[in-house]
Amino acid sequence: MWSGIVTAIPVTIGVRMPEAPASLDAAGSRSALVDTHGRVHRDLRISLTDRCSLRCTYCMPEQGNEWLARSSILSTDEIVRIAQVAAEAGITTFRLTGGEPLLRTDVVDVVRQVARLRTPAGAAVHVAMTTNGIRLPEFLPALIDAGLSRLNISLDTLRRERFSDLTRRDRLDDVLAGVAAAQASGLRPLKINAVAMRDVNEDEIVELVEFARAHDAQLRFIEQMPLDAGHTWERARMVTRDEILARLAARWALAPIAGRGGAPAERWTIDGGPHTVGVIASVTAPFCGDCDRMRLTADGQLRNCLFSTTEYDLLPVLRQVSEPGLIDAGIEGMLRACVRGKLPGHAINDPSFLQPARGMNAIGG
Ligand code: SAM
């Protein structure tokens, strides 16, 4: 039996199975994905592509991005197969992301097939999506019909010129049309994510919350993380959780909402509610102790943390093993190895921290 922390899955000749298949509990069900720190994993973020219709400065370079090889991109069937094994091992929420997930032509089919999966107890899984919203007017009715249950839209500024500078594309109107489509759809809770940036959009913090409220959405500010493809992140330029809260508290009475669980955002009610605002303070107030998330990149690499420098390669298991039962056992073994290798925290604040080689668009945000 293979044990210990995995640094790489060596695949040279044939495929190495990471461990004996399926850990079964006394009742004969598969046991949950629990790491060595006792964290139970319930959430799998699936990146559908590293391609994007925007080029946000904090995420992707303007030009010269090295795209993932098309031949390595997971097919619909491969994604669904991994999701099925993950659901059997206790994953209850699948979040589709990217890159921009709506650039995948099979996105509705992926949603439909993943939404059909059931937990071992027979419950429906949740299928969520993080998107820049640009193609929502076109896709949203079909996505909802296919079983999409939650939506996060990313929007950092409401000012046209600023939007063009920040995303290097003049697409603000398209994003706003996407938000309008989401509001009209009735899919709730609707969340809008904004990365707060010094000298870029910090003066819009209150305005963005007002915009979200007017669209029946929850604004969640994200501290900028060292995940840009250009490796230009500077701590001093980051707008912190405390600075965000100070701006909000100058405008509204904020009351903390208890019961965060494994959610990345801390939340507050605004002026007694019902509207709320959240902050995802990955840098200044990390929430790794409650992390229940794993990630699957578009090219079939499992990751146990956004900031991990280790990946667990599912492609050989999917493409070099011929017997279906062995493929599923290999996927499950890899999921368990990935979870077992998870460190207690992301260590952004440690002097030895190394930024992962992939940018956020290739990891899946
Ligand atoms: N294209 C989709 C979108 O725009 O939401 C999904 C992918 S995008 C990488 C997912 C989220 O990651 C977005 O909300 C984006 O703002 C966030 N993000 C990207 N790079 C980031 C960084 N360096 N720090 C914090 N958040 C980041």
Question: Which residues is 261 bridged to in the sheet?
Answer: none
What is the pLDDT confidence band of residue 11, given thresholds at 50, 70 and 90? very low
What's the pLDDT tens digit per position in 65-111?
A: 899 999 999 999 999 999 999 999 999 999 999 999 999 999 999 99
Q: Which residue's alpha carbon is at the smallest distance from atom 2 of ligand 1?
A: 131
The residue-averaged pLDDT of 152-173 equals: 98
d(C-alpha 331, C-alpha 22), whole Å: 10
Q: Is the CB of 178 under 6 A from ligand 1?
A: no
The finding on whether 360 has its CB within 6 A of some atom of ligand 1 is yes
Higher pLDDT among residues 125 and 14, named by residue: 125
Mean pLDDT of the 187-213 span: 97
Is the CB of 361 inside a 6 Å radius of any atom of ligand 1? Answer: yes
Probe target for ligand 1 pocket from 45, 58, 59, 129, with the most ligand atoms within 8 Å of CB: 59
Q: What is the mean pLDDT of residues 102-125?
A: 97
pLDDT digits (tens, 9 = 90+) for 19-38: 444 566 555 567 899 999 99
Contact by Cβ (8 Å): 85, 32: no
CB atoms within 10 A of CB 160: 12
The CA–CA distances, whole Å, from 147 to 79, 117, 118, 156, 216 equal 16, 11, 13, 27, 21
Q: Round the average pLDDT of the chain to a whole number and report it.
A: 91
Q: Which atom of ligand 1 is nearest to the CA of 156?
A: 16
Atom of ligand 1 nearest to the CA of 194: 16
DSSP string over 17-41? --SSS--B-TTSSBPPEE-TT-PEE
Mutate to test the pocket of ligand 1, among 195, 346, 348 (most ligand atoms within 8 A of CB): 195
Q: pTM (2 decimals)?
A: 0.93
314: Cβ contacts below 8 Å, ≥ 6 apart? 82, 296, 300, 301, 302, 330, 331, 334
* Range among 80-94, 228-242, 341-355 with highest mean pLDDT value: 80-94
Q: How many CA atoms lie within 13 A of 282 on its CB side?
A: 22
Residue-level pLDDT at 212? 98
Ligand 1 atom closest to the CA of 132, numbered from 1: 4
More confident residue, 354 or 285: 285
